[in-house]
Structure 1
Amino acid sequence: MPRYALIVIDVQNDYFPGGRWALSGIDAAADNAARLLAAAREDGQLVVHIRHEFPTADAPFFAPGSEGAQIHPKAQNLPGEPVVLKHHINSYRETALNDILKQHDMKDVVICGAMSHMCVDAATRASNDLGYGCTVIHDACASRDLEFDGVKVPAEYAHAAFMAALQFGYAKTLSTDEFLAG
């Protein structure tokens, strides 16, 4: 019986170089997500992929049916692994994610993917609010440069700030190596 569910959030083509919304560090994060996927599969853990599509074709990225909205080959789902299609930032909102976790009697989730400051943050907080024990694999997540009120926030600072906030009250944060050694 699986001990945890690995939730791989939005590792999709548009976030990679050449995509419509490239993230800083996405290749390295996806490489670590691939390592997590391999370990979870080998251990017989539940793997759930989240794939985001905006509801209209004029979306800035992840347009419905586009190549950019497809899961990147580094994190591709295998037959039998659930792929949850979402249209909102929170992976639980109007999806079957919580039902899938309940069907498998999950108590703990391990989260990785993109973007650290949006969908990873939202899924982690929602998972915690729903009673799941949460671990975020920080080096298997990616962000991008942000700006607020004229202040530019480099991607690595945005990522670090969100990981620090999640670690404070919502989740354990571990590197891929730390998690796999555990």
Structure 2
Amino acid sequence: MSHPQTMFQLTGRGHAPASLNNATLLIIDAQEEYRSGVLALPGLDPALAEIASLLAAARSAGADIVHVKHLGIPGGLLDPSGPRGRHLPEAAPLAGEIVVEKRLPNAFAGTELHDRLQALGHLDLIVCGFMTHSSVSTTVRAAKDYGYRCTLVDAACATRDLPAPDGSVIAAAEVHRIEMIALGDNFATLVPNAKSLV
């Protein structure tokens, strides 16, 4: 049996990683919930450091930046009016940077994200944030439907442990790894870390 190939390899439709000179940096749900809330992520700190590096490089390069913020449940997960819904300080937007608010995992659903990206004029997106298997995955998959080319930064994303139907627990690192592999098959070019793009 031959070694499997990605759909990108089989179709010849893969693309080189984007650069901050010709792409928009898209930061998904870098919010306090994932540090101190019910959804605290085991891999948050190293992923957040990578996001902060990407953000600093993007600002230094004058790149376009879009922050996505999830409006969650009042008094609950990602509380839009409480501390758990706030941007993490290390990745918080500066004045003038675009913030798109969403209520579903897919950042394109019911938001102005597509219109804002079209106005910026880049087909290439550099994507990072939380959670890998949920908002990151659904947004990257939807981006392909809109004609964008995503470059996904592995070390700048993280997720949480998940319960399996048999009662076992799938560790966050494994959930993240499998989701990255799936996205790299046909939806995004993968790069290991922020240094790969700066």
TM-score bracket, normalised by the shorter chain, equals over 0.9
Deviations 1:30-87 (A, max 9, x none): 1100000011111111100000012x4253x111211100000010101100111111
* Contact 1:7–1:111 (CA under 8 A) maintained in structure 2: yes
Unaligned runs of 5+ in 2: 1-19
Partner of 2:31: 12
Does 2:169 match 1:152? yes
Deviation at 1:3, TM superposition (A): 1.1
Deviations 1:70-123 (A, max 9, x none): 000010101100111111110011111100110011110010000000000011
* Contact 1:20–1:68 (CA under 8 A) maintained in structure 2: no
Partner of 1:36: 54
Deviation at 1:177, TM superposition (A): 4.3
Does 2:69 match 1:51? yes
Mapped partners of 2:27, 2:190: distance in 1: 15
Partner of 1:96: 112
Partner of 1:77: 93
Tell me the number of residue pairs that the alignment of Structure 1 and Structure 2 aligns. 178
Partner of 1:137: 153
Deviations 1:135-174 (A, max 9, x none): 1001000100001212321000000000000001100111
- Give secondary structure in 2 for the equivalent of 1:92: coil
Q: Check 1:82–1:177 CA distance in 2 against 1; reply closer, same or farther (3 A cut).
A: closer
Mapped partners of 2:98, 2:194: distance in 1: 25
Mapped partners of 1:89, 1:179: distance in 2: 27
Give percent identity, aligned residues only: 35
Deviation at 1:180, TM superposition (A): 2.5
How does the TM-score come out when normalised to structure 2?
Answer: 0.86
Structure showing greater radius of gyration is: 2
How does the TM-score come out when normalised to structure 1?
Answer: 0.93
- CA RMSD of superposed structures (Å): 1.5
Unaligned runs of 5+ in 1: none
Mapped partners of 1:15, 1:74: distance in 2: 13
- Give secondary structure in 2 for the equivalent of 1:34: helix
* Contact 1:4–1:45 (CA under 8 A) maintained in structure 2: yes
